[in-house]
Amino acid sequence: IKGETDHYDFIFDLFSKGMSDLMLQYKIPITTSVLFVPNALLAEERSGSRNDNNAGYHAAKVAVEMVRRLRDL
């Protein structure tokens, strides 16, 4: 959750670069459900119990689909 300092942007940039580096180094797709949001309300909305609104659920669903497709190659 974004605060009043630059830590949010710093962490987001490092996280994004780190994930990209891992994907390029190992030549594999990676999904995450880390939420970078400006406030707690949006965090709660995107991590709720309903699957249609849960970022973690969607990331897991994408990961399973990527594994299926990679097996088909």
Catalytic positions are: 7
The label of the residue with tokens 């309300």 reads: 41
Helix, strand, coil percent content, the chain, rounded in steps of 5:
65, 5, 30
Distance of CA 72 to the CA centre of its chain: 25
SS3 34: coil
